[in-house]
């Protein structure tokens, strides 16, 4: 009953309240990024959602679009702005995702939506992560996200879906809040320090 009805209701209530309370912060960041990122305050990227339906993830833009002499984007570490670093460390770049929750593309809690190009590389068992709405935070994110390898991270996603409940969601929301306050392991969507998932799986297959 919770998974079918009350989870969505909880998402709507909490995300609406959260966005109303954070709207002054949202508006201030939006204005700053209009100048910092030359009129482009938001980052949009296609991601697979529930049942692998593609939607555009919405975040505050933390990197510029600077390119090299050949027209290729510079490495991420050379494009992240000082203000963008602050947004990432404080998780304030995630605020726009509250609108994605209201729209129905995302949930407060669930497996993080990864890149579309990763879809062919999940095992049949791992594909269970796409039977629920992706989340702003999830079990992997409170379990040492930046220290987890891909296999462990995906096992955490599977564990979440298999044990989904109201109390598990509340636990994850509470622990996420503590991590945000402590500014510990809060780069929810970052993949720095580990290879891309498709590259990781290709290397495994070639061994």
Q: What is the pLDDT along the chain (207 residues), one digit of tens a residue?
A: 898 899 999 999 999 999 999 999 999 999 999 988 888 999 999 999 999 999 999 999 998 888 777 778 777 777 888 898 899 888 899 999 999 999 999 999 999 999 999 999 999 999 999 999 999 999 998 987 666 889 999 999 999 999 999 999 999 999 998 888 876 655 545 555 578 898 889 887 765
Residue 139 DSSP class: T
pTM over 0.85: yes
Question: How far, in Å, CA of 73 to CA of 69, rounded?
Answer: 10
Residue with tokens 């809690």: 109
Give burial (CB, 10 Å; 0-12/13-18/19+) of 81. Answer: middle
SS3 of 106, please?
coil
The pLDDT value given to residue 183 = 67
Strand bridging mode 54-60 / 42-48 = antiparallel
Structural domain count of the chain: 1
Range(s) of the domain holding residue 122: 2-206
Q: Which tokens go with 96?
A: 């726009």
Question: How far, in Å, CA of 189 to CA of 94, rounded?
Answer: 9
């Amino acid at each position: 009953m919770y998974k079918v009805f009350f989870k969505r209701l909880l998402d709507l209530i909490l995300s609406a309240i959260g966005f109303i309370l954070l709207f002054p912060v949202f508006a201030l960041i939006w204005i700053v990024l209009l100048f910092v990122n030359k009129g482009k305050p938001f980052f949009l990227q296609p991601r697979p959602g529930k049942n692998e339906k593609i939607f555009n993830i919405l975040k505050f833009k933390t990197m510029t679009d600077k390119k090299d002499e050949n027209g290729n984007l510079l490495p991420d570490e050379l494009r992240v702005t000082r203000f963008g670093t602050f947004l990432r460390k404080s998780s304030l770049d995630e605020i726009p995702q509250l609108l994605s929750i209201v729209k129905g593309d995302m949930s407060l809690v669930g497996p993080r939506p990864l890149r579309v190009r990763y879809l062919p590389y999940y095992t049949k068992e791992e594909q269970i992560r796409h039977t629920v709405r992706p989340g702003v935070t999830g079990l992997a994110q409170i379990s040492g996200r930046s220290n987890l390898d891909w296999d462990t991270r995906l096992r955490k996603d599977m564990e979440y879906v298999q044990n989904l409940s109201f109390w598990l969601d509340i636990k994850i929301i509470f622990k996420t809040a503590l991590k945000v306050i402590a500014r510990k392991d809060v780069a929810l969507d970052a993949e720095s320090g580990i290879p891309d998932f498709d590259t990781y799986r290709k290397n495994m297959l070639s061994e």
